[in-house]
Amino acid sequence: MQRSDPILEVKGLSVSFLQYGRGMRQQLLNVVHGLDLAVSEREIIAVVGASGSGKSLLAHAILGLLPYNAHMEGGCRFRGEPLDEARLRRLRGKEIVLVPQGVSYLDPLMCVGAQLNGGEKAPDSRRRTRESLARYGLGEEVERMYPFELSGGMARRVMIAAAVRNTPKLVIADEPTPGLNPEAARRILGHFREIADEGAGVLLITHDLEMALTVADRVAVFYAGRILEEASVADFMQEETLRHPYTRALWRAMPQNGFQPLAGAQPYAGEGQEGCLFASRCPLRSAECTKEPPVREIGNGWARCFHAGERGKADGFDSGTNFVPV
């Protein structure tokens, strides 16, 4: 875990929304809570979690692009120095870039080329756009296309091209593969591996653990706004090396490992967040789980659990309960 100079360090990041509850009572909705994360050079770290767990907000928070009613605590350091708003404004789109989810992130009324140039008319800027598109197999005609003319895979490649056109140090990819067939998805993820191998750090946010394991170096398991475990990809070779009961449940849910879904659903943000958030679904639950679980470092990773690394009951889960797919 202790690596030399990470590119991005996230420390104690919390994101909350001010919402009106019943009546006029204002309610602080905690969506991301006390999150620590580090991304190093030449490394892909995958943040894996179910939809609705606050993954996209994590990406937007790092970029300082949260909606105006959101409140953020904690902070980030980029290449060793605090990442404040002024610095973010300078680095956004240059050293820190985002690869968003889908075609809705492109202006529907503007040609691809003009969008990538970002208003710069210098021949150098145009050349870089041209080269980065060409790198992903997109010809010159794509520059004159509007987003509605792109296929799903083309749109993803356009957005990757938009990101790498300024040779970034940190790439934050927010769900870059859904809607693509496995072939195309693997190709897109391969592009991220390439970017990492060229020296950048990649933060890959996804709900697809299986896909993530094919390219990432480390995996952070995200659940209801928190990271429950950070593990190296090698740890996912067998269940025993995984630390957190949720990670193990995810592992067992993969087709090649028994395809066993986990009962229940993750709690919504703001729903009585006392103690371990996973306790209500956890087979290892005990009395102490109502308290805040400690972070336990085991091997080359850690988990936020009283029972980290413990083996569950026979098979972990009793098969009598209703199984609801996650």
Stretch that binds another protein, among 76-84, 115-123, 199-207, 260-268 (CB under 8 A): 115-123
State which of residues 110, 134, 237, 324 lies at the interface with another protein (CB under 8 A).
110
Please say which residue, 57 or 284, places its beta carbon nearer to another protein.
57
Note whether 151 binds another protein by CB under 8 A.
no
State which of residues 92, 126, 187, 193 lies at the interface with another protein (CB under 8 A).
92
Note whether 112 binds another protein by CB under 8 A.
no
| Three-state SS annotation for the chain | CCCCCCCEEEEEEEEEEEEECCCCCEEEEEEEEEEEEEECCCCEEEEECCCCCCHHHHHHHHCCCCCCCEEEEEEEEECCEECCHHHHHHHECCCEEEECCCHHHCCCCCCHHHHHHCCCCCHHHHHHHHHHHHHCCCCHHHHCCCHHHCCHHHHHHHHHHHHHCCCCCEEEEECCCCCCCHHHHHHHHHHHHHHHHCCCEEEEEECCHHHHHHHCCEEEEEECCEEEEEEEHHHHHCHHHCCCHHHHHHHHHCHHHCCCCCCCCCCCCCCCCCCCCCHHHCCCCCHHHHCCCCEEECCCCEEECCCCCCCCCCCCCCCCCCCCCC
Residues 249-288 contacting another protein, CB under 8 A: none
Note whether 23 binds another protein by CB under 8 A.
no
Stretch that binds another protein, among 62-70, 76-84, 239-247, 278-286 (CB under 8 A): 62-70
Please say which residue, 162 or 220, places its beta carbon nearer to another protein.
162
**Shortest approach of another protein to residue 28 CB, angstroms?**
19
Stretch that binds another protein, among 76-84, 101-109, 175-183, 287-295 (CB under 8 A): 101-109
State which of residues 2, 81, 86, 108 lies at the interface with another protein (CB under 8 A).
108
Please say which residue, 170 or 220, places its beta carbon nearer to another protein.
170
State which of residues 159, 202, 263, 277 lies at the interface with another protein (CB under 8 A).
159
Stretch that binds another protein, among 14-22, 112-120, 262-270, 271-279 (CB under 8 A): 112-120
User: Where do contacts with another protein occur on this chain (CB under 8 A)?
Assistant: 60, 63, 65, 67-68, 89, 92-94, 97-98, 100-102, 104-110, 115, 118-119, 146, 148-149, 159, 162
